[in-house]
Structures are given as C-alpha cells and as structure tokens.
Amino acid sequence: MNSVTYQESSIFQRKSSRLHHPEKIIPKSLILELLKAAQWAPSSSNKQPWRYIIFDKSDPEQFKKGLELLYDGNKKWAKNASLLILAVAEAEDEEGKFIPISLHDLGLANENILIRATEAGLVTRPMGGFDKAKTKQFLELPNSLYPLVMIAVGYPGDKNHVDPSIAERENAPRQRKNLSEIAFFGNLDNPIKE
C-alpha cells in the first residue's frame, strides 16, 4: 500500500456535508462497495453486530419512507441525498441483555462507510436526528435491534440546493478539541500536547 500523508488521507478529507446533489443516483455497484466497507470492519469476538437498511433514491417510494423517519431539521437537506442508510445494532445477547460493545462496533463499520464514500467522491452526513420509535415500529424491528444512526450519502451539491439558513451553517468552521483535552500519557494529569 502506498504511503499517504495525514492531510491526503481519507480520514482527514472526510467531513459531514448537507450539500448533496438532488438528482443523482448512486450505482448499485457503489452501494455494494459502501456496504462491503462496513462488512470488513473489526468487531468484538467478530460478532459483526451491524445491520443496514437502505433507502435508495433510484426507488423514490423507498427513499421517501426513509426520509419520513428523519426529524424535520434533517429532512430539509437530506431530501437531496441519493441514499439513506439506516445503521442498526444487534445489541442484545440471547438472554436479552444489552451489549454496549455492539454500539462501538457499529460505529466502526459506519466510519468505514463514511471513509469509503469519501474516497469514491461522495459526500456523507450521519444523523442521530430521526424518530427511533417510529423506525422500530415501521420496520418491525425486534427488540434486540437498536437503530442508531441514519447516514445520508450523495454526490456533492451546492448551496442553491438548500435553504439559505442551511447553506450558512455549511460555512461554519469545523471544530475540534485540542489533543491535550482528549489524550493523556499514563493518567489524566498528563495531557498530551502537540
């Protein structure tokens, strides 16, 4: 594998976007690639607790059903996405006990989707802002399946595709905590400085 700098890496290139092209469709082969990226994520005891339900705009009725699950603030821009991917965790063991690590593993698989989409020239935005009770009911999910996020995936759009208030939010600088707030050598008294 060729070496790339941090700045060139898809981890650094990825960012969440609300600007999706409203008319483009993602070919089935590329949808499969995104799902394969998730499939190859690591997981605790290789349990692979991720499940994905796809709402694809090539089937407008199907896409509309996914869109209906989102809260209004997200609907406004996510209507332009080409794909809505509902990420669900198999989050209970045989005795019905919650398995917290399943949410971690689903997150790893989700990030793989975001990264692969970025490499393929797509834009993405994960959303916690959707109605989980309605989702469980509508999709008749068993109790063991926990719908965690909906991921909007599309081709890059521009500001004319969204309300001005949403376009403005896209201009906001991306924020990150300093490394010294999140990472430590040995114990919490020893923050790691850049």
Ligand X SMILES: Cc1cc2nc3c(=O)[nH]c(=O)nc-3n(C[C@H](O)[C@H](O)[C@H](O)COP(=O)(O)O)c2cc1C
What are the residues binding ligand X (CB under 6 A)?
A: 15-16, 74, 125-129, 149, 174
Q: How many residues does the chain have?
A: 194
Cross-strand bridge partners of residue 54: 85
Q: How far apart are CA 75 and CA 157, in angstroms?
A: 16
Q: Which is nearer to ligand X, 13 or 190 (CB)?
A: 13
**Residue 95 token pair:** 């005795």
Q: Which is nearer to ligand X, 126 or 147 (CB)?
A: 126
Residue 194: CB minimum distance to ligand X, A: 18
Residue 153: CB minimum distance to ligand X, A: 13
What is the Cα Rg of the chain in Å? 18
The residue number with the shortest CB distance to ligand X is: 129
Residue 149: CB minimum distance to ligand X, A: 5
Residue 94: CB minimum distance to ligand X, A: 28
Q: How far apart are CA 155 and CA 16, in angstroms?
A: 12
Residue 117: CB minimum distance to ligand X, A: 12
The b/e string for 129-168 (b: 16+ C-beta within 10 A; e otherwise) is: ebeeeebbeeeebeebbbbbbbbbbbbebeeebbeeeebe
Q: Which is nearer to ligand X, 32 or 183 (CB)?
A: 183
Q: Which is nearer to ligand X, 14 or 65 (CB)?
A: 14
- Three-state DSSP class for 35? helix
Q: Which is nearer to ligand X, 72 or 189 (CB)?
A: 72
